[in-house]
């Protein structure tokens, strides 16, 4: 939920593995623990994860290996979609089911249509104050470290954008909805704000991330399945990896001729006549991914992130 890229590099002899595995992270495990397990399964020498999920949360966790670790910074910027289950009428100190109940309030009786209207009022731009139980750093300290000491400090509101809020179920005091949101959105805080808007309190009991950016949920693999496949043949699991540029497949792209490929790989600007402005993916005429460039206008593209992939 809290956006944070993580990764490690091992000194032991491993394999040059390049690609992205979309893990359906199980509950009760940190994002880094999940990464380390899969990294061992495929015997990769370098790996990272992006868009950390809280230990209790489940769902899509992109694991990047080899050259694909260079994608982490771009994936942090991606929108996320979550399926959220909230318990209305009870607030906890952490905002989720792991915390202690700190307050109870009666829950107004509202029908499905009324809740749908309420949720959709949160669509659009808004300011959100990060929760104390978060990994956000202020003056070098993680907020959750201060919270565990019983301290509460002032936090600045941050801009977030909600693209979609859709009610799935309302049953007694349980609220289930789907939210498509920008980076940096704290779902626990969103649940609390929704409850506050109808005069009650709430906390998040389940959180499942359905998507990150343009990745397809159908490409996710359970940790148990990944382990079984790896035991039979690690190459079969490596074959499940998406190409490093898979996360960027909806970006505009430019194709370079041989002489421009040499210049681009040396970090020099090229002029392939690219019409799109902003970040672009760059390929050879044989469709080999070279990296990320920035189109500056007048057809000029300057390298921003180079990838060294086998032919």
Find the Cα–Cα–Cα–Cα dihedral 31, 35, 26, 222, rounded to 10°.
150
Residue 69: name the closest of 237, 247, 214 by CA.
247
Strands, E assignment, the chain: 6-9, 19-25, 46-49, 58-65, 80-88, 90-92, 101-104, 124-128, 137-138, 141-142, 158-171, 174-181, 202-212, 221-222, 253-256, 270-274, 278-284, 289-297, 299-306
Q: Is 93 a catalytic residue?
A: no
> Which position among 54, 96, 245, 260 bears the catalytic label?
54
Beta pairing class for 253-256 and 278-284: parallel
Tokens of 34: 């999940």
Q: Give Cβ neighbours of residue 286 (< 8 Å, ≥ 6 apart).
A: none
Report d(CA 86, CA 271) in Å as an integer: 52
> Measured between alpha carbons, how far is residue 174 from residues 68, 112, 117 in Å?
40, 12, 17
Active site residues: 54
């Amino acid at each position: 939920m809290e956006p944070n890229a993580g990764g490690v590099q091992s000194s032991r002899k491993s394999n040059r593995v390049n690609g992205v595995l979309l893990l359906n992270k199980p509950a009760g495990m940190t994002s880094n623990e999940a990464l380390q397990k899969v990294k061992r399964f495929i015997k990769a020498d370098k790996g990272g994860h992006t868009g950390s999920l809280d230990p209790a949360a489940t769902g899509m966790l992109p694991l990047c290996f080899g050259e694909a670790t260079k994608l982490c910074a771009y994936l942090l910027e991606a929108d996320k979609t979550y399926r959220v289950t909230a318990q209305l009428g009870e607030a906890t100190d952490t905002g989720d089911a792991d915390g202690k109940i700190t307050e109870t309030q009666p829950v107004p009786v509202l029908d499905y249509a009324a809740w749908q209207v309420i949720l959709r009022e949160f669509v659009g731009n808004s300011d959100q104050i990060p929760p104390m139980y978060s990994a956000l750093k202020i003056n070098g300290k993680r907020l959750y470290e201060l919270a565990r000491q019983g301290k509460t400090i002032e936090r600045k509101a941050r801009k977030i954008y909600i693209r979609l809020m859709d009610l799935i179920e309302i049953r007694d005091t349980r609220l289930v909805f789907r939210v498509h949101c920008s980076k940096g959105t704290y779902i626990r805080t969103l649940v609390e704000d929704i409850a506050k808007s109808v005069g009650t309190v709430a906390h998040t009991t389940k959180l499942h991330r359905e998507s990150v950016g343009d990745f397809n949920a159908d490409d996710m693999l359970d940790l148990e399945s990944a382990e079984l496949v790896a035991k039979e043949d690690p190459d079969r699991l490596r074959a499940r990896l998406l190409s490093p540029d898979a996360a960027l497949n909806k970006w505009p792209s430019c194709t370079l001729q041989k002489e421009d490929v040499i210049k681009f790989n040396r970090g020099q600007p090229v002029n392939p006549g690219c019409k799109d402005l902003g970040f672009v993916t760059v390929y050879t005429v044989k469709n080999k991914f070279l990296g990320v460039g920035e189109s500056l206008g007048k057809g000029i593209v300057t390298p921003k992130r180079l990838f060294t992939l086998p032919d």
